[in-house]
Amino acid sequence: MRTFRQSTTRLTALGAAALLGLGGLGISALATATPASAAPVNQYFAFHGPTGFSAVAVSSDWAASAATVHSGSNFTFTSQPNTTVVPQTASGVTVLSISNNVQYYPIPPGTTYVSAVASGPVSFTPLGGGAATTTPLVITYCPTASSPGCTAHAPYTNFLGDTPAPYLQIGTGSAVFPAGGSLTTPGVTVTLTGQAGGTTANWTQTEFDTSTSVDLGTGTPLAVKVVGYPYAGPVPANASATALPLLSPPPTLASVDVAGSATVSAVLPNSGPVTGGTQVKVIGTFLQNPTAVTFGSTPASDVIPLTADSLLATAPPGAAGTVNVIVTTATSGSPSSPADQFTYTNGPIVTGVSPNAGPPSGGTTVVITGQQLAGATAVHFGSATATITANSGTSITAVAPAGTGIVDVTVTAGGQTSTTSQQDRFSYNTGYWLAANDGDVFSFGNAPFYGSAGGTPLNAPVVGISTTPDGAGYWLVASDGGVFAYGDARFFGSTGGHTLNSPMVGIAATPDGFGYWLVAADGGVFSYGDAQFFGSTGSIHLNKPVVGISASPGGNGYWMAASDGGIFAFGNAPFKGSLVGTAIRTGVIGIASSSTGQGYWMATADGGVFNEGDAAPFGSKSGLLLNKPMAGIAASSASGYWLVGRDGGIFNYGVPFYGSAATFQLNIPIVGMAAVG
């Protein structure tokens, strides 16, 4: 805790204006700038003394040179010159002079410091006129807290933390400015380099110091040193309030998005008719603010940004053959690669297989959807031939042959075979995975084990698991929002290392496997990859905490379930009912949606299952004695569901039983499950 001298003690009773030295000069003289592109930001600073806290509001204006820059590029934050008259009195106290005014600005994470240049010197004209004097503005870059000349103070106990190094301090130096004179401080241009693509560089002020000489009526000058820290505000009516809320993170004065190089990692679907008109989802990284999307050299139409990593575009007409889909943004263009290829064809096109999993013995009836499918002469699951039972221009019904692993479903018609894609995959790896609190993963049936966090020290316990659409990987999520990816599951981001209002409770993957949503107990939703944000309850008071999330089949919405059975539907996920007002013996612990997206099941801790919409009832354990409470529910891509207990016990309804961990004598409870089949 900072120690305040007696002079500070005596002056705190005079109020914040006197402490600040004088009408906010301590901050605004250096921080105020009003370029046309900037908007003033009101920020509050609080001070502590033995009589309590005081606070003051000031307006600060900084402008960024650009809204977005490419990683590796320089950008600037700039203020403008400001002129202020040094007050002669404040709160009835005679002001003699001010000096040593210093502001502290942390260098934003993901950037490196280049330079800071003043637009001129500090200029002072004394009261009554006379020759102006000039002194240099003192700018010091502090790469570490102990760097020479660096004077950021240890904060008051309730402050959010030290001014983090590296930081920039800007001050008027030791020059003394008598009251009544006119003080002009120059503008400052700070140049930084954006290093980490995908970050936002926020310019903030975390502290200020000012020295004031006053006369309390004794005829003897009294030196007062004041240190101020950001405060949530507003300033109370009584500026000498003895109690204020805790200090807070500083507001953002200006910001710049640092974008990485655009890349394209998938085009879905990756083939279409030569006549064009196919709406495709382009997935990659740093695709925000697209200025053009081209198929070969031909521009696409109807480009619709979805997330920072995905967009929609309509394919133009093209000649039969393969082209690269290139995305150009305000800062970069994606390089061509095999992942961005789109094939124009007069042959069959497969865009979906449902269900997309079945047992190795075969016999699963699947519906293949797409375009130009009429007159199909063959359907293959990998190299094995399927039996066609129905055929039209947009769909084929076929019976899967026996097989193993994950295969592409291809259609042959008119002598041409469909281009393989991530949308035509069928998995014979039917089974499920159980996730334990310590990150261990247990696989059953034909579901492969791809890895786990078991045995790895975790910052927070694992709370959920979700699988990729083809069952070739899975994600784990911890209560702090940390995400662990295994198999072909890609890491798209997490909240690990960030402060959350509520712990994470679940994860749901997008149907194409190129993104996921995390949900917190307060209903806050965090979206990554091509997962779009459709809304949350993070700012709404809930009767009971949220316990799970489930995505709609098309990925254009999701449901969240609360422990009292409340359902919150967002995007195109339809609300089909809830348990609010229904007497349930134990709380809801999870939710799973039907394959059509027109219904869902909710499971309770005692094994009860409640169905809404077209989600059919297959059974439950309600009313029966359980060894441990239920921990999760997973639905089949065809029909039915599994329940898992915290001891790893599995209860199957309308779906096969592949095994359980109930006999493993687990030291750590199971927290969730994911399934393929």
518-536 pLDDT per residue, tens: 999 999 999 999 999 999 9
| Average confidence (pLDDT) over 483-498 | 94
CA 432 → CA 370, 444, 639, 659, 677, distances in Å? 29, 6, 15, 9, 8
How many other β-carbons are positioned within 10 Å of the β-carbon of residue 50? 10
**Vertex 58, ends 56 and 62: CA angle to 5°?**
150
Each residue of 204-219: pLDDT tens digit? 988 888 888 888 888 8
**Vertex 86, ends 80 and 91: CA angle to 5°?**
125
pLDDT at 231: 76
CA gap 483, 459 in Å, rounded: 11
Q: Residue 334: pLDDT above 70?
A: yes
The pair of three-digit structure tokens given for residue 127, joined into one six-digit string: 């009261």
Q: pLDDT-derived band of residue 54, with 50, 70 and 90 as boundaries? A: low
Q: Residue 1: pLDDT above 50?
A: no
CA gap 396, 383 in Å, rounded: 18
CA gap 141, 115 in Å, rounded: 8
**596 occurs within a structural domain:** yes
Beta strand 341-345 with 271-273: parallel, antiparallel or unpaired? parallel
The pair of three-digit structure tokens given for residue 256, joined into one six-digit string: 């710049």
Beta-strand (E) ranges in 514-556?
Answer: 515-520, 525-529, 546-551
CATH code at 367?
Answer: 2.60.40.10
Q: pLDDT-derived band of residue 20, with 50, 70 and 90 as boundaries? A: very low
Q: Residue 157: pLDDT above 70?
A: no
CA gap 214, 21 in Å, rounded: 9
Phi and psi (nearest 5°) for 403?
-175, 180
Write out the H or E segment, with its range, that includes residue 72.
none
CATH code at 519?
Answer: 2.130.10.10
The pair of three-digit structure tokens given for residue 272, joined into one six-digit string: 């279409």
- For the four alpha carbons of 333, 200, 505 and 439, in that order, the dihedral sign comes to positive
**Vertex 306, ends 302 and 310: CA angle to 5°?**
95
pLDDT at 277: 98
Give the CA-trace dihedral at 410, 284, 328, 315, to 10 degrees. 30
Q: pLDDT-derived band of residue 50, with 50, 70 and 90 as boundaries? A: very low
C-alpha closest to that of 54 among 291, 227, 278, 223: 227
CA gap 18, 95 in Å, rounded: 9
Residues 169 and 304 in one domain: no
Each residue of 236-262: pLDDT tens digit? 555 444 455 556 778 899 999 998 999
Residues 422 and 493 in one domain: no
Mean pLDDT in the chain? 88
CA gap 534, 477 in Å, rounded: 20
Establish whether the linkage from the previous residue to 355 is cis, with ω within 30° of 0. Answer: yes
CA gap 223, 263 in Å, rounded: 59
Q: What is the separation of C-alpha 323 from the centre of its chain, rounded to a whole number of angstroms?
A: 33
Query: Where among 310, 345, 380 does a domain terminate?
Result: 345
Q: pLDDT-derived band of residue 154, with 50, 70 and 90 as boundaries? A: low
Q: Which residue has the higher pLDDT, 521 or 288?
A: 521
CA gap 77, 66 in Å, rounded: 9
CA gap 406, 424 in Å, rounded: 10
pLDDT at 639: 85
Residues 512 and 568 in one domain: yes
**1 occurs within a structural domain:** no
CA 363 → CA 359, 386, 398, distances in Å? 8, 9, 9
Share of the chain above pLDDT 70, in %: 88
Q: Residue 384: pLDDT above 50?
A: yes
| Average confidence (pLDDT) over 385-407 | 98
Spatial contact of 90 and 158, defined as CB atoms under 8 Å apart: no
Q: What is the 3-state secondary structure of 294-349?
A: EECCEECEEEEEEECCEEEEECCCCCCEEEEEEEEECCCECCCCHHHEEEEECCCE
Query: Where among 258, 280, 310 does a domain terminate?
Result: 258
Half-sphere exposure of 297 (CA within 13 A, CB side): 1
Q: Residue 143: pLDDT above 70?
A: yes
pLDDT at 47: 66
Q: pLDDT-derived band of residue 53, with 50, 70 and 90 as boundaries? A: low
C-alpha closest to that of 168 among 140, 189, 201: 140
Residues 240 and 273 in one domain: no
Q: pLDDT-derived band of residue 162, with 50, 70 and 90 as boundaries? A: low
Which of 14-23, 150-159, 546-555 tops mean pLDDT?
A: 546-555
Residues 486 and 446 in one domain: yes
Residue 387 bridge partners (DSSP): 399
pLDDT at 125: 96
How many other β-carbons are positioned within 10 Å of the β-carbon of residue 539? 9
Q: Tell me if residue 30 falls in helix, strand or coil.
A: helix
Q: Which residue has the higher pLDDT, 439 or 639?
A: 439
Beta strand 68-70 with 254-259: parallel, antiparallel or unpaired? parallel
Residues 481 and 563 in one domain: yes
Q: Residue 17: pLDDT above 70?
A: no
CA gap 462, 437 in Å, rounded: 5
Residues 221 and 135 in one domain: yes
pLDDT at 51: 46
The pair of three-digit structure tokens given for residue 48, joined into one six-digit string: 């502590």
CA gap 249, 475 in Å, rounded: 32
Place of tokens 């575009």: 313
Domain carrying residue 512: 429-676
pLDDT at 63: 93
Q: What is the separation of C-alpha 36 from the centre of its chain, rounded to a whole number of angstroms?
A: 31
pLDDT at 623: 78
Residues 470 and 544 in one domain: yes
| Average confidence (pLDDT) over 80-98 | 84
C-alpha closest to that of 555 among 593, 588, 591: 593
Query: Which residues contact residue 105 at a Cβ distance below 8 angstroms, ignoring those fewer than 6 apart?
Result: 167, 168, 169, 170, 190, 203, 204, 205, 206
- Sequence length of the chain is 677
Q: Which residue has the higher pLDDT, 14 or 669?
A: 669
CA gap 340, 72 in Å, rounded: 25
Q: Residue 291: pLDDT above 70?
A: yes
Residues 82 and 229 in one domain: yes
Residues 34 and 126 in one domain: yes
The amino acid at 672: G
pLDDT at 210: 83
| Average confidence (pLDDT) over 282-301 | 96
Q: What is the DSSP letter of 27?
A: H
- For the four alpha carbons of 58, 62, 68 and 73, in that order, the dihedral sign comes to negative
Spatial contact of 653 and 607, defined as CB atoms under 8 Å apart: no
Residue 86 bridge partners (DSSP): none
Spatial contact of 140 and 195, defined as CB atoms under 8 Å apart: no
Q: Edge-to-edge strand order for the sheet containing 431-436?
A: 441-445, 431-436, 670-676
Domains of the chain: total: 4
**160 occurs within a structural domain:** yes
CA 35 → CA 62, 81, 142, 590, distances in Å? 8, 10, 27, 52
C-alpha closest to that of 157 among 247, 242, 56: 247
Q: What is this structure's pTM?
A: 0.80
CA gap 658, 434 in Å, rounded: 12
pLDDT at 538: 84
Query: Where among 283, 315, 345 does a domain terminate?
Result: 345
**278 occurs within a structural domain:** yes
Residues 246 and 376 in one domain: no
Residues 154 and 202 in one domain: yes
**444 occurs within a structural domain:** yes
